[in-house]
Amino acid sequence: MRRKKWVVASGDRELASVAAAELNIDPLAALIASSRGFDNIDEINDFFDEYAPLTIDPMIIKDMDKAAERINRAIDEFEMICVYGDYDADGVTSTALLYSFLESRGANVIRYIPDRISEGYGLNIPAIDKLASRGVRLIVTVDNGATAIDEIAHAYEIGLEVVVTDHHKVGEALPVCEAVVDPQRPDCTCPYKEMSGVGVAFKLACAIDDDDPDEILREYGELVAMGTIGDVVSLIGENRVMVRRGISYMNSHPGVGVAALIKASGVRGRELTSMSVAYTLCPRINAAGRMGSADKALELLLCDDPDEAAYLADEINNMNARRQATENEIFGKALEQIQENPAIANDRIIVVVGEEWHQGVVGIVAAKLTEHFGRPSVVISRSGDEATGSCRSIPGFSIYDAIKASSEYLTHYGGHTLAAGLGLKSADIERFRRKINDYAADKKMPFAEQRIDLKIQLSGINLPVLSSIAALEPFGASNPQPLFGLFGVTVEEINNISDGKHTRLIVSKNDVRIGTVYFGMPERRFPYEKGDKVDLAVNLEKNVYNNETRVSVVVRGIRPSDTDEDKVLEALSIYDNFSRGEKPESGEVSALLPDRETEVEVFRSIQSKPLKDGNCEELCVRLGDDGTNLARYMITVDVMTEMGILSADAHNRVFVPHDTHKVNLEDSQIMKKLRNIQE
């Protein structure tokens, strides 16, 4: 797992104090808001205002007036309209919202969502032909269409008209149609560019009806909230207002379909939050499109019969279970592929390929690989001569720009800065891999960040803190669940839980002890020992058990307390560049090349206590180094492993084997390469 860069935010305590007093808000919540860039009273007030109004006039979005006029004309003339959506949570909720809205206004309307596997994303010509044969005269896209130039041209050739509503990046040219409503258009003056597809669909409904937006949001707020959360767009500004209200409606009077989904997901009786929507409801809506048909999820959201809704919700729940199993299987295969081919792991952009990997889950697998390795990743499923892929990235590196620069090997592509999709010929996969990594080679690859909102003492972890955190809801992109830093704590106990899947830690400082849980970290891989002094990045969450509320401390990141962050990251960059075959600069060679004393120190340390999870930063702690020599320690481990002096098991535990024999480390290919560069 690649090390993250720890960034500790600094809040404006004076501003937070004034804001807390003047606005009657929680002081700790105000301090966290200030640490996230809110630098004046008005911004803080808007953020915490539970009654904040909707401020974006739909008509300020380019072409919204044209879209509303054309759709109203279709309603008046009873032309058949098709709402053409997408198969993810944003696309399904967008389709449900606009279809339901138009139907309630007396429109002659049908809906269509393409099949993920057989049709792929967005408009396609066979679907357009099918809709024309059914008598459709106007297609209104939601959450897609801004780049469908050829498909829309075909629609006009056969007598259809199209209104596009989208929120994705647009290409150099726009489709020629009745209207292209997309805040991402360069010529759109709307100041808020962060809308989801369902957010744009909601604004379209407001424009069509020219009615009170609050009333329309009250009617469709749960769909807006679910789609906005599911699409992981910014949850500040207008999105925050819509999601906050939508969750309130879901808690007070959910629709029949949403209520059934809540029950099937096992969260009935609990207060829904943005996090529970993100991790329980949205994955199930997505699962329908990934593992079967998104129409099932659409039918559920439109359903008004409780029995039918319960049946559909259970069916979708089963799809989600299959999705989880398939995802875990493919993720395991991807890890094996990387472990068997270190060149892939060393690439700036990880590209893995599998035969007939389920296209519905490759995006999730890409996200897990990016989280695990801390670098952009592309997961490609090959099927005969054709292949499709999904990409994920880290802040600071645009995966969209990277695939655009590699588009000579792609048949299609699209997406965002941090997530994208693509298609290509199977024969071009290796050329694409080289091209996208050549592009990245000219960029300084950032480290994924571990952003700490505030430092906190163990004694400060208590129930009132949970109330402070709750004031910041809803959480999501641009407003994540607060992350607190516990610095200089001592590891007292390490225990495995849930059959070794997770680790429970007891840590202490200044005579205060607390328990924490590190989910997804098996005890055998936990890279520290009892007595080590570490820094922890933690979430503080509410845990209710036997009617007693406690604070649950969940570990999200860990590092040694006694190393220098800048020196560690510099050493890792030097090591990574050399490992992928790049020639180090003269000053970097000395940082990599071990001497005899270093070799002896590293060997004796590992002989005394094996390294868990290959964590060479732990060697810095053992040997009293602040990170200056980390690259040298890592090279030493690689050299000794190459020469058989050290071994690593399946869990990357590095140890001295029983059958070691005397060798000359200068015979190592790694050492020879470094010596040649040095000369």
pLDDT of amino acid 473: 95
Q: Which residue, of 181, 211, 241, is where some domain finishes?
A: 211
Neighbours of 55 (CB within 10 A): 12
Mean pLDDT computed over every residue of the chain: 94
Q: Which of 135, 133, 78 is nearest to 103 (CA)?
A: 78
* Residues 407, 512 share a domain: no
Residue-wise pLDDT for 247-260, tens only, equals 999 999 999 999 99
What CATH number corresponds to the domain at position 422? 3.10.310.30
Residue-wise pLDDT for 626-654, tens only, equals 999 999 999 999 999 999 999 998 888 99
User: What type of residue sits at position 5?
Assistant: K
* Residues 592, 546 share a domain: no
**pLDDT for 1 beyond 70:** no
* Residues 666, 570 share a domain: yes
Mean pLDDT throughout 447-471?
Answer: 94
* Residues 629, 661 share a domain: yes
- The residues, any chain, with a CB within 8 Å of residue 145's CB and separated by 6 or more, are 84, 122, 123, 152, 162, 164, 165, 166, 175, 180
Kindly report the CA angle at 268 between 267 and 271, in degrees rounded to 5?
80
User: Is 316 within the bounds of a domain?
Assistant: no
pLDDT of amino acid 530: 92
**pLDDT for 606 beyond 80:** yes
What CATH number corresponds to the domain at position 665? 1.10.10
Mean pLDDT throughout 406-429?
Answer: 91
- Domain of residue 365 covers 341-443
* Residues 399, 490 share a domain: no
- Residue carrying structure tokens 């744009």: 200
What CATH number corresponds to the domain at position 86? 3.90.1640.30
Q: Which of 71-80, 337-346, 400-409, 620-629 is the least confident region?
A: 337-346
Three-class SS of residue 618?
A: helix
* Residues 504, 402 share a domain: no
**pLDDT for 553 beyond 90:** yes
- Residues linked to residue 350 through DSSP beta bridges, in sequence order: 377
Output 264-269 pairs: Cβ under 8 A, ≥24 positions apart: 264/310, 264/313, 264/314, 264/316, 264/317, 265/317
* Residues 516, 480 share a domain: yes
Host H or E run for residue 647: strand 647-648
* Residues 598, 549 share a domain: no
User: Is 260 within the bounds of a domain?
Assistant: no
- Total of domains in the chain: 4
Mean pLDDT throughout 58-78?
Answer: 98
* CB contact at 8 A, 200 and 165: yes
Q: How confident is the model at residue 610 (pLDDT cuts 50, 70, 90)?
A: very high
Host H or E run for residue 48: helix 41-48
- Residues linked to residue 508 through DSSP beta bridges, in sequence order: 490, 513
* Cα–Cα distance for residue pair 594/629, rounded to 1 Å: 9
* Cα–Cα distance for residue pair 382/639, rounded to 1 Å: 36
Whether pTM exceeds 0.85: yes
- The residues, any chain, with a CB within 8 Å of residue 262's CB and separated by 6 or more, are 250, 254, 268, 272, 281
User: Is 330 within the bounds of a domain?
Assistant: no
* Residues 98, 171 share a domain: yes
User: Is 290 within the bounds of a domain?
Assistant: no
* Residues 62, 76 share a domain: yes
pLDDT of amino acid 336: 93
User: Is 19 within the bounds of a domain?
Assistant: no
Structure tokens that stand for 290 in this block: 């990934």
**pLDDT for 210 beyond 90:** no
* CB contact at 8 A, 4 and 374: yes
pLDDT of amino acid 31: 96
* CB contact at 8 A, 631 and 574: yes
Q: Which residue, of 443, 476, 504, is where some domain finishes?
A: 443
User: Is 167 within the bounds of a domain?
Assistant: yes
* CB contact at 8 A, 561 and 533: yes
Three-state DSSP string of 269-300: CCCCCHHHHHHHHHHHHHHHHHHCCHHHHHHH
Q: Which residue has the higher pLDDT, 553 or 529?
A: 553
* Residues 417, 346 share a domain: yes
* Cα–Cα distance for residue pair 561/582, rounded to 1 Å: 31
User: Is 545 within the bounds of a domain?
Assistant: yes
* Cα–Cα distance for residue pair 379/371, rounded to 1 Å: 14
User: Is 225 within the bounds of a domain?
Assistant: no
* Residues 607, 535 share a domain: no
The shares of helix, strand and coil residues in the chain, as percent rounded to the nearest 5, are: 45, 20, 35
Q: How confident is the model at residue 139 (pLDDT cuts 50, 70, 90)?
A: very high
What CATH number corresponds to the domain at position 514? 2.40.50.460
pLDDT of amino acid 515: 96
- The residues, any chain, with a CB within 8 Å of residue 243's CB and separated by 6 or more, are 224, 225, 228, 229, 235, 274, 474, 476
**Percent of the chain residues topping a pLDDT of 90:** 83
Residue-wise pLDDT for 267-307, tens only, equals 888 889 999 999 999 999 999 999 988 999 999 999 999 99
Mean pLDDT throughout 133-148?
Answer: 96
* Cα–Cα distance for residue pair 345/375, rounded to 1 Å: 10
Number of H helices, E strands in the chain: 26, 20
* Cα–Cα distance for residue pair 326/410, rounded to 1 Å: 26
Q: Which residue, of 443, 460, 492, is where some domain finishes?
A: 443
Kindly report the CA angle at 1 between 286 and 390, in degrees rounded to 5?
35
